[in-house]
Amino acid sequence: MNRSKAVASDRSKEAGADFLQLDSADAPPGGLTDWLTRRLREAVADGRLPAGSRLPASRVLAAELGISRGVVTDAYRRLAEEGQVTGHGRGGTVVVAGPAPAAPPAPAPAAPSPGRTAPALYRADPDPEVFDLLRGTPARIDLTPGVPDLAAFPRAAWLRAERAVLDGLAAHDLGYGDIRGTPALRRAVAHWLARNRGVRADPDEILIVAGTAQALALLGRALERAGISEVAVEDPGSLGARQHLAHWLAATPPVPVDAEGIRVDALRATGAPAVLLTPAHQYPTGVVLGGDRRRELLRWAAEGGLVIEDDYDAEHRYDRPPVPALRAALPERVCYAGSVSKLLAPALRTGWLLVPARLREAVLDAKRFADLGNPVLPQFVLARLMESGELDRHLRLLRRRHRRRRDAMIAAIRTHLPGATVHGAAAGLHLMLTLPEELGCTDTELATAALAAGVKTQPLSWHTRLPYPPGLVLGYAAGSPPELTEGIAVLGRLVRRAG
């Protein structure tokens, strides 16, 4: 057997390009150029090569296909003559034609107006996907709570930190990493909690998670494994948090909240072995857990109860002194969750969770089988922001900006909604409004009418199961003062019309 022919035959079997999955063996004898031109033309026509995409260099594609470079350049030339591609010198060959127009689709039914879509959104008993629908529903003015000022994200500081991290990163740092989180971020979080929240924790006690939502999911699995199937929740209290717990646990009995926070006597009456709280800034009322109530709660926990502390909006305070976290007083009876979603952006999906020693292994197992740990690179960058003081500087900027926006919303409420009562103004990123009982409509109907008028809100009744006045939960962090004023003016007109 001729050895050179055998080698050539083996190479032909291996020849092929990842680009469009081209295989020169598919070409008819003597028709390589026609075959390649046709395949490229088809890819432009069906959209696999959209306008603006670059074709491989002729030398590279020829080598991958095991054919002459002249075949590739000839095919590119033909496409250029047809106006499908153009040459850009060192910039390569670029597709300039779009895919062939498809046959016009059958006419779709007319889209319902906002007023007709809103009732399905603002149901009295919302499904778990309601927040996905709400985020995806456009509105001229968005007053929904839970969204920080995303335009204030410290892009320049983040880029500086990212460059510094990449400059000093070792190759092994790009592996999967520790499922608990990078040691650098766990140390930074430990320092942050000690100086800002009064929580003293060893970095080894800290688990980095994908936000508070994942923290609740991991706790739900760990508690179920420990035989706990019931976690009491505040009422009013976050619908989203309640839905996350209810996904994993059998029951989430409501416990009333008053001006001092959760009613511990009512908590005892439920018999629930655990409770989810937002003590630093109760959601949505904004009250702070009072001193006597805090001591009563800690006695309940010391007797065997378990507290899940969602440190919601603790950093965003304006007119009151800081409140230490419950975790600082009774670490072995408190699970503590926090995140940077309201400090930086929800898109980072980064938070932290501290749990008593007896739950640590179960929570770690749940994290391991959920995702093998958070993405590593953003953790290094966030650690640098925290340790360098950039995050503290950013928080000071946010407080000034949020205070101005809060003041603008309160002024607008005084002018356009004089019958409403404002709750929770001293801290946070939202206000809770309660409206007169004689409103003339439910708060879901009011939210429906507001959305039809271009203003997106959340009805207070979403966050209550016990009897409570109608109201709205309104976010102010993401809107400019003029937008906030206009949105409240719209709500004022709707309330006067309903009355």
Taking the C-alpha atoms of residue 479 and residue 248, their distance in angstroms, rounded to an integer, is: 35
Q: Residue 79 phi/psi, 5° resolution?
A: -65, -35
9, pLDDT greater than 50: no
Tokens of 130: 């309601």
Q: How confident is the model at residue 99 (pLDDT cuts 50, 70, 90)?
A: low
CB contact at 8 A, 12 and 25: yes
The residue that leads in pLDDT, 163 or 124, is 163
Q: What is the pLDDT of residue 106?
A: 41
- Mean of pLDDT values over 326-345: 96
Q: How confident is the model at residue 5 (pLDDT cuts 50, 70, 90)?
A: very low
Q: How confident is the model at residue 108 (pLDDT cuts 50, 70, 90)?
A: very low
Torsion angle in degrees (nearest 10) through CA of 337, 338, 342, 345: -100
- Mean of pLDDT values over 402-420: 96
Closest CA to 302 of 325, 272, 334: 334
Mean pLDDT, the chain, whole residue set: 90
Which residues are within 8 A (CB) of 307 and not within 5 positions of it... i.e. 6 or more apart?
Answer: 274, 275, 277, 297, 301, 326, 330, 333, 334, 335
Q: Which of 13-17, 36-40, 288-292, 340-344 has the lowest mean pLDDT?
A: 13-17
Taking the C-alpha atoms of residue 104 and residue 490, their distance in angstroms, rounded to an integer, is: 40
Domains recognised in the chain with CATH numbers: 14-95 (1.10.10.10), 114-151+394-498 (3.90.1150.10), 176-388 (3.40.640.10)
Taking the C-alpha atoms of residue 237 and residue 466, their distance in angstroms, rounded to an integer, is: 10
Which amino acid type is present at position 353?
L
274, pLDDT greater than 80: yes
Q: Which of 97-101, 190-194, 406-410, 425-429 has the lowest mean pLDDT?
A: 97-101
pLDDT in tens, 422-472: 999 999 999 999 999 888 899 999 999 999 999 999 999 999 999 999 999
Which amino acid type is present at position 280?
A
- pTM (2 d.p.): 0.84
Q: What is the pLDDT of residue 441?
A: 93
319, pLDDT greater than 50: yes
pLDDT in tens, 150-189: 999 999 999 999 999 999 999 999 999 999 999 999 999 9
